[in-house]
Chains A and B, each alone.
Chain A
């Protein structure tokens, strides 16, 4: 029992580390087409956590990922941090709800998560700038989110089908 709990926390810590590294590395990948659009690779880890771990554990990994990645990039408590936090929180909430309302496959949850991450960020930008002009970006960002969400979802499904990860959900 104690060994299982230890293994669980070690695995969660490793997943958090992977999410931070992916988040940091993708900031070096130039945006294609729309400035500011990222691949959202860290969402693969969050999705795996949502499916394999308890919800509060997945949420902890998600929030810690945002805080630590922003500390690493030197943007902690800046506007970029609040946009990232709101996007992550909204996307997590919506992914969690859709996961439990309907048994959708990870690819769809990934697309929904990516889309609502963008929507969450646009909402914060809307509050900060207090101009509806920012909404003009929404369709571009939404389209990019659907594409990146599909790519991340495919990777996530492939990883989850590998029989190497212990399922901690019901332990």
Chain B
């Protein structure tokens, strides 16, 4: 009988490399995750539809983005509260307050980009810190 339980060094090297790659990227992202957001740019299908100054928000406020999508904003944070997409992952994400944690709904092409004072124009500059 052929056994599939024998482990080789190469097995450890491959899993170890993938794990190392994921952890290093995660550490870099988490290092910028504490940066507070001051602005939220809301894109629908690649088009900027709304920019919200999160620093100026003092109370929780609901804003309609389209017929199907509503967001809730408070000081420094934003979340999706209404969306008719089948998965509802964007709503499950809850409040996001870090540029390293954008809110995305692929179903509607929704992308909420959070910007801090330190962020430059490029999207992935936040990854590089």
Contact = CB atoms under 8 A, between A and B. Distances in A.
Contacts, number: 116
A92 B46 CA distance: 30
A105 B6 contact: yes
A105 B4 contact: yes
Contacts of A134: 102, 104, 111
Interface stretch (A2-10, A13-21, A57-65, A124-132): A124-132
A105 B7 contact: yes
Interface of B: 1-8, 10-11, 14-15, 18-19, 21-23, 25-26, 29, 43, 46, 86-87, 89-90, 92-93, 100-102, 104, 106-107, 109, 111, 113, 122-124, 126-127
Interface of A: 31, 35-36, 51, 73-75, 78-80, 83, 102, 104-108, 111-112, 115, 124-125, 128-140, 142-143, 146, 150, 156-157, 160-161, 163, 167
What 9 A-B pairs are tightest by C-beta distance, nearest first?
A139-B25, A35-B89, A35-B92, A142-B22, A36-B89, A132-B123, A139-B26, A143-B22, A133-B102
